[in-house]
């Protein structure tokens, strides 16, 4: 006789519903598990897992098979089907950051990548609507670059601790304190902050931007806001002196050099890759450091068999899906802001055309100048990497 696990049995009840319920008897006053089950997000929205949805989505399941169980798929596939249909109706694209969960990243993301790649895509896309599967500053960047397009973010609360650490008024005070010095802002800032700065940078081009702006202004000191650790890690890669703000990414600041030593002890032979928003003591112990896309590329190109990515949790899931032969050690930290974005709210955003991100025109024009100053730089031929190991500490002045 066919034996079913409890989970599979419940799944059958979910899928078969009344048919199964008829052959199972429950005592008086007892609800069947099917009756007790809460409706899924798809069911609450009237999105069925019917034959049409199944036929259109079956081929997509292998992309997320390590993340979504077969039992969960009927709750996910209707969103994928209807999001992809709504994208066509609205002439919309989904720009998905590397930190999105694999269902969003692999199943509905039209363009995937790091902050710089998504900004470049926002500037050139022909679509009328951009859905930012990322955080608010990314949606603002898209709007700044594509003012005629409707830019939607599925959850307005998707913020960023770095963006929250500094205001435009702070930058005006910094400008007064350090006259004649260029101010580079990480893209992880509000439009208001970008409008006060001379050029933006991302983790993909931070050292290049600092050296460019120092040469252009004829100075040997550059102000970098708001990420202290990115600034420190840049300082170790250039002769330009860095003046830094004390903002931190709440995800990456939690990693320590001691974490890396413990990982190496527990998992010998693991290649350690770190994002440059981590403190320098992490990079001192790491084997490789770079932007999210540089980390992903390194896993693919380096031939490493066992890796750990010291960055946001979903990165490992997404990179693992593309590198089936690589073993991933997965200590990671979740970004609560990135995790606000889901298939459910992407569907709602496209259906109801919410939540629109706007930027006042006066701010937009000035912020665009700072972003364009970065986008106009030559595109690096390889993903830039940061120094790791000895020599990652360089003196930095804190504002
Ligand atoms: P990148 O994708 O540019 O590496 O940025 C990481 C990040 O933390 C974005 O919020
Ligand atoms: Fe901001 Fe850090 Fe989250 Fe990126 S991971 S959005 S830098 S808090």
- Say if residues 189 and 167 touch (Cβ distance below 8 Å): no
Residue 243 CB–ligand 2 contact under 6 Å: no
In a domain, 42, yes or no: yes
From 141, 276, 277, 278, mutation site for ligand 2 pocket: most ligand atoms within 8 A of C-beta: 277
Task: Give the pLDDT of residue 16.
Answer: 41
In a domain, 85, yes or no: yes
In a domain, 41, yes or no: yes
Residue 91, domain CATH = 3.40.50.10800
CB atoms within 10 A of CB 273: 27
Residue 98 CB–ligand 1 contact under 6 Å: yes
Residue 188 CB–ligand 1 contact under 6 Å: yes
Total domain count, the chain: 1
Task: Give the pLDDT of residue 331.
Answer: 80
Helix (H) or strand (E) holding 210: helix 206-217
Query: What is the pLDDT of the chain when averaged over all its residues?
Result: 91
Q: Which ligand has the shortest distance to the CA of 333?
A: 2
pLDDT in tens, 362-396: 999 999 999 999 999 998 888 899 999 999 999 99
Q: Per the structure block, which two tokens stand in for 264?
A: 């190496």
Judge whether residue 10 has pLDDT over 70: no
Distance CA 133, CA 193 (A): 22
In a domain, 207, yes or no: no
pLDDT in tens, 72-84: 999 999 999 999 9
Distance CA 123, CA 359 (A): 15
Centre of ligand 2 to C-alpha 97, Å, is: 11
Q: What is the mean pLDDT of residues 58-67?
A: 95
Helix (H) or strand (E) holding 92: strand 92-97
In a domain, 178, yes or no: no
Nearest atom within ligand 1 for CA of residue 134: 10
Residue 114 CB–ligand 1 contact under 6 Å: yes
Cis status of the peptide bond prior to 226, with omega within 30 of 0? yes
What's the domain range around 31?
6-152
Distance CA 383, CA 399 (A): 30
Whole-prediction pTM? 0.89
Task: Give the pLDDT of residue 33.
Answer: 64
In a domain, 265, yes or no: no
Residue 250 CB–ligand 2 contact under 6 Å: yes
Residue of the CA atom closest to atom 9 of ligand 1 = 115
Say if residue 37 is exposed, middle or buried (CB neighbours under 10 Å; 0-12, 13-18, 19+): middle
Find residue 329's DSSP bridge partners.
Answer: 308
CB atoms within 10 A of CB 187: 26
Residue 203 CB–ligand 1 contact under 6 Å: yes
Q: Which ligand has the shortest distance to the CA of 335?
A: 2
Residue 251 CB–ligand 2 contact under 6 Å: yes
Task: Give the pLDDT of residue 34.
Answer: 65
Task: Give the pLDDT of residue 116.
Answer: 84
Task: Give the pLDDT of residue 29.
Answer: 55
Task: Give the pLDDT of residue 379.
Answer: 87
- Say if residues 13 and 33 touch (Cβ distance below 8 Å): yes
Residue 161 CB–ligand 2 contact under 6 Å: yes
In a domain, 284, yes or no: no
In a domain, 289, yes or no: no
């Amino acid at each position: 006789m066919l034996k079913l696990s409890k989970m599979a049995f419940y799944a059958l009840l979910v899928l078969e519903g009344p048919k199964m319920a008829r052959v199972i008897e429950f005592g008086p006053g007892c609800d069947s598990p099917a009756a007790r089950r809460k409706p899924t997000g798809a069911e609450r929205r009237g999105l069925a897992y019917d034959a049409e949805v199944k036929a259109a989505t079956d081929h997509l399941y292998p992309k997320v098979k390590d993340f979504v169980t077969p039992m969960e798929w009927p709750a996910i596939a209707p969103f994928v089907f209807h999001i992809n249909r709504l994208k066509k109706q609205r002439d919309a694209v989904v720009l998905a950051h590397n930190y999105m969960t694999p269902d969003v990243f692999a199943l509905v993301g039209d363009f995937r990548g790091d902050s710089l790649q998504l900004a470049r895509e926002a500037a050139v896309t022909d679509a009328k609507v951009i859905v930012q599967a990322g955080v608010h500053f990314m949606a603002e960047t898209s709007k700044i670059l594509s003012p005629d397009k409707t830019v939607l973010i599925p959850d307005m609360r998707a913020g960023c601790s770095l963006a929250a650490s500094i205001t435009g008024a702070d930058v005006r005070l910094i400008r007064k304190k350090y006259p004649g010095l260029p101010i580079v802002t990480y893209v992880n800032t509000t439009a208001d902050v970008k409008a006060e700065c001379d050029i933006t940078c991302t983790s993909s081009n931070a050292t290049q931007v600092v050296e460019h702006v120092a040469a252009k202004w004829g100075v040997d000191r550059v102000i970098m806001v708001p990420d202290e650790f990115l600034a420190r890690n840049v300082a170790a890669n250039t002769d330009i002196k860095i003046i830094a703000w004390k903002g931190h990414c709440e995800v990456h600041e939690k990693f320590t050099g001691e974490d890396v030593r413990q990982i190496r002890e527990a998992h010998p032979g693991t290649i350690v890759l770190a994002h440059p928003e981590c403190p320098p003591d992490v990079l001192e112990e790491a084997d490789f450091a770079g932007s999210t896309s540089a980390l992903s590329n390194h896993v693919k190109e380096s031939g490493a068999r066992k890796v750990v990515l010291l960055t946001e949790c979903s990165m490992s899931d997404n990179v693992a899906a593309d590198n089936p032969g690589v073993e991933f050690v997965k200590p990671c930290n979740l970004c609560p802001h990135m995790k606000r974005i889901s298939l459910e709210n992407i569907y709602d955003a496209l259906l109801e055309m919410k939540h629109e991100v706007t930027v006042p025109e006066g701010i937009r024009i000035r912020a665009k100048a700072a972003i364009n100053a970065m986008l106009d730089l030559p595109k690096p031929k390889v993903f830039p990497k940061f120094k790791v190991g000895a020599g990652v500490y360089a003196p930095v002045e804190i504002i």
